[in-house]
């Protein structure tokens, strides 16, 4: 399985997982010239920007460790851009990470709500 296929499968698994938790998916793979948001969801009244990370086997690290400080800043800028474009104001926002590890059998999914903070001013 190549990287692109791994990412697509992990995003599908993450979206299914979030739906089972009662979240409503608003968008997937939203691309701008600055980057991509894997998933945007609504958890009750909270707007959630989700970063999905995947890996196969035990690589010595956890997929969620790949969400670096630089990646967090990029996601915050993309979220702000999305909110301005869609005129989203006066709402709670959070950033989640969903880590998907593939081994034998079903993937292991680890959801980290509110994985990091970002200063977003609208």
Q: Rounded to whole angstroms, how far apart are CA atoms 63 and 110?
A: 9
Look at residue 25 in the predicted model and tell me its pLDDT.
97
| Residue 121 pLDDT greater than 60, yes or no | no
Which residues sit opposite 93 in a β-bridge?
47
HEC per residue, the chain? CCHHHHHHHHHHHHHHHHHHCCCEEEEEEEEECCEEEEEEEEECCEEEEEEEEEEECCCCCCHHHHCCHHHHHHHHHHHHHHHHHCCCCCCEEEEEEEEEEECCCCCEEEEEEEEECCCCCC
Report percent pLDDT > 70 for the chain: 92
Domains of the chain and any CATH numbers = 3-116 (3.40.1350.10)
CA distance 93 to 91: 6
Q: What is the pTM of this model?
A: 0.89
Q: What pLDDT, on a 0 to 100 scale, did the predictor assign at position 57?
A: 73
pLDDT at residue number 119: 67
Closest Cα partner for 95 from 11, 54, 38? 38
Q: Is the pLDDT of residue 17 over 90?
A: yes
pLDDT digits (tens, 9 = 90+) for 39-90: 999 999 999 999 999 888 766 677 777 888 889 999 999 999 999 999 998 8
Look at 2-6, 28-32, 39-43 and tell me which has the smallest mean pLDDT.
2-6
pLDDT at residue 11 above 50? yes
């Amino acid at each position: 399985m190549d990287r692109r296929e791994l990412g697509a499968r992990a995003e599908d698994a993450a979206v299914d997982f979030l739906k089972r938790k009662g979240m409503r998916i608003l968008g997937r793979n939203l691309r701008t010239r600055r980057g991509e948001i894997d998933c945007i969801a609504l958890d009750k009244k909270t707007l959630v920007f989700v970063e999905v990370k995947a890996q196969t086997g035990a690589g010595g690290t956890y997929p969620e460790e790949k969400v670096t400080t630089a990646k967090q800043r990029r996601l915050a800028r993309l979220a702000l851009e999305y909110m301005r474009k869609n005129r989203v104001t006066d709402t709670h926002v959070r950033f989640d990470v969903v880590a998907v590890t593939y081994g034998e059998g079903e993937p292991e999914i680890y959801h980290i709500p509110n994985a990091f903070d970002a200063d977003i001013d609208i």
